Amino acid sequence: MSKKFIGKFKAIAFAAAFAFTSIFASPVSTKAVGSVPYKWDNVVIGGGGGFIPGIIFSETEKDLIYARTDIGGAYRWDPSTETWIPLLDHFQMDEYSYYGVESLATDPVDPDRVYIAAGMYTNDWLPNMGAILRSDDRGETWEKTILPFKFGGNMPGRSMGERLAVDPNDNSILYFGARCGKGLWRSTDYGVTWAEVENFPNPGDYIYDPNHDYTKDIIGVVWVAFDKSSSTRGNATKDIYVGVADKDESIYRSTDGGATWEAVPGQPKGLLPHHGVWASNGMLFITYGDTCGPYDGGGKGQVWKYNTLTGEWIDISPLPYSSEDNRFCFAGLAVDAQNPDNIVVSSMNAWWPDEYVFRSTDGGKTWKNIWEWGMYPERILHYEQDISKALWLDWGTEKPLPEVNPKLGWMIGDIEIDPFNSDRMMYGTGATLYGTDNLTDWDRGGKVKIEVKGMGIEECAVLGLISPPEGAPLVSAVGDICGFVHEELKVGPKKFHVSAYATATSIDYAELAPNFMALTAESENNETKRISFSYDGGKNWFQAPSEPGNSVGGGKVAVSADAKVVIWTPKDSAPALTTNNGSSWTICRGLGNGARIASDRVNGSKIYAFYGGKFYVSTDGGETFTTTAASDLPDSVNDIKAVPGEEGHVWMAARDGGLWKSTDGGNTFTKLSNISTAYVVGFGKAAPGQDYMAVYITGEIDNVLGFFRSNDAGKTWVRINDDEHGYGAVDTAITGDPRVYGRVYIATNGRGIIYGEPDSDAPIPTPTQSPNIKVGDLNGDGSVDSTDLTLLKRFVLRKIDGFEIEDGLWAADLDGDGDVNSTDITYMKRFILRKIEKFPKE
């Protein structure tokens, strides 16, 4: 998509580091009373909803495929359902950087092994160093090694690659190409420890834009390719090729297993190497572009092949460099493992009239584009496109010829052919993952059927959620693809709200007239009015006729309970109100730019705001705001919500400033003392026997990060997620469902919309007598290791019903509490990592 959203040495071998790892009322102590089991799943948007920079097929096992995303983690293909399984959902808010996957590598010898280079940004936005994650069970469980620098999974050049590679002859050896001038790194123990390859001569010098924090770092070493034929099984590959983001000398070679390196003689200059693939015929194929992508891609591009046997470089570009049509990078590159003369390359951001996908069946001598010009503006399409699994991909618009909707894509940084099936091809775009199962029909004059292959990937950055008391159960505001009315939670919506919008930043409804809604958005087109209204629960929207003066859009919106007033705080602009759906606006008196706002959910004249460490209230529908008597408040708050059905009840989540509540319209506030962190707060249907709505937060209570629920207005709390369901950044929105007790919806920054419901299955009892077996040894092999951890996780997640050994339930109950749950998983992880010497019940 157009963008993503962010919240606020020399050679050293590193041992593995792992992590599973006024009036003011006095603070009121609250209590977290353990946890309750919940079932978690995605609200289906469908197709992905974000950039897919890499697809990685296993060379050794059919249908073993991985996909990496820039802010949504990594996935594994499930061939039985043709959907993707998320692999990194255990990372919580403090490690959400690991959802930015810089690179992924499958083991070409042992298909159970998979590696991930995880880390989102190299600048100061996040403190986390990059980590190499390794798994020997296809991503069911992970171990982690921290490297002494940051990775850039959501930064320029992220579709170049793959930076991470496993030696096909000695799979204990891995290489990783780093950013920021950190060079090339190597592991010789299956990724446990790493050391810099000190004699690698060039860490790269290309910087996309030195004047911006996001783009000022060196792109670095971008791919590694092995000449498998240069060695034998069990011995390190001798001939290794490395691509570097440097327009002078970018391709380097070692012929002695990485001991020495040299620039490959005669190589092209002036462009950046996006992908490099060594083929079984001895050819090294490389796609080049002027820039690193993935947003730009303009300029020029080329495709070259290097004969590793003769040293000859051959320009095989589908379009001559001098051609006026050559106005984009060549990025994606696939070589058919069954016939290395069959090649596919893709343009990156040709934009108009669409992307280019070229195919050659003669090693690059001749090429065919997947479309060609007819009588202008007609085009002849050699493909059919099916978006029935994600209908929103047509963007709700009709394009004049020669463009068509939907497009083939944009930001096509990677394209791959299945090494076991020459008919199957997949490619990632800025919005979804497309693929075909009849690629070779193209060679015989047929049409390629392209369809959505991204189901199961939910990568949206979600910025707002509402669950009204009537109508659809959920309505969202989403980055890049606006947002949706979710009539069904497990069926993707057909369209998003407003086709003119990309990113919607905020949404609200009138509590007493819930079909009325307001939505704010960002748009670079100043002719577009960046606030819209709906009178039918979000099914249809109309843009306001005008905006407040100097508005740049975005920001937050609040709708009065009676639907008579809408308050908008545009980004970097003064808060303003409208009583006529945006025909005119009045600046709110008494508030500064950037104030947090919320409407009372009972009294239509009452609006709340927080600004500059002070709490404000308006009793005239937002025309004037005055400070209340509340004092000693936090400096800032992240979220402010009023409670439906309770006039004057307002809660504030202040991140590290904790959770605050008022029952008198903000005149006094109580801080809940042992809630050290509260990111967002929301309300849902009251528990049976309770009058007050259930309260939900994401945050930290008693030093435990998670999602929490209170049934008694914040007196006591239970954790409702576990260590396997963290979902990364969960600090933008949360809401309970006012019609279903216990159901909660959570916005994530890269894993879409998560919803949870109480797990009705009762805890599984375990034996009370100790049998003659080892605690934790679930497969009966006499030891407690990662295999047992995988079995335990699968049991807790209800993927298996039991264990093969006798009295396996007793062996799995590590803390002796009579239940097998996520706590036992935590104990087993700590035991395997030698952080504890025995289990609690031993």
Q: Where in the sequence numbering do the catalytic residues fall?
A: 70, 480
Beta bridge partners of 433: 428
Sign for the CA dihedral angle at 568, 569, 574, 575 comes to positive
Q: Burial, 361: exposed, middle or buried (Cβ in 10 Å; 0-12, 13-18, 19+)?
A: middle
Q: Are 464 and 504 in contact (CB under 8 A)?
A: yes
Give me 584's structure tokens: 């005119």
The kind and range of the H/E element at 557 are strand 556-559
DSSP string covering 725-793: ---S---S-EEE-TTSTT-EEEE-BSS-EEEEEE--SPPPP--SS--SS-TT-SSSSSS-SHHHHHHHH
Cα 736 to Cα 355: distance, rounded to the nearest angstrom: 42
Q: Are 86 and 98 in contact (CB under 8 A)?
A: no
Contacts of residue 94, defined as CB under 8 A and 6 or more positions apart, other chains included, come to 705
**Residue 611: strand, helix, or coil:** strand
**Residue 238: strand, helix, or coil:** coil
Cα 621 to Cα 564: distance, rounded to the nearest angstrom: 8
Amino acid identity of residue 741, one-letter, is: Y
Cα 709 to Cα 38: distance, rounded to the nearest angstrom: 11
Cα 539 to Cα 526: distance, rounded to the nearest angstrom: 25
Cα 164 to Cα 177: distance, rounded to the nearest angstrom: 7
Cα 196 to Cα 10: distance, rounded to the nearest angstrom: 7
Q: Are 141 and 133 in contact (CB under 8 A)?
A: no
Lateral strand order in the sheet of 65-68: 54-57, 65-68, 74-78, 83-86
Looking from the CA of 410 toward its CB, the CA atoms found within 13 Å total 22
Paired sense of beta strands 383-386 and 448-452, if any: parallel
The kind and range of the H/E element at 831 are helix 822-832
SS3 content of the chain, % helix, strand, coil (to 5): 5, 35, 60
Cα 436 to Cα 419: distance, rounded to the nearest angstrom: 14
Q: What is the phi/psi pair of residue 795, to 5°?
A: -70, -45
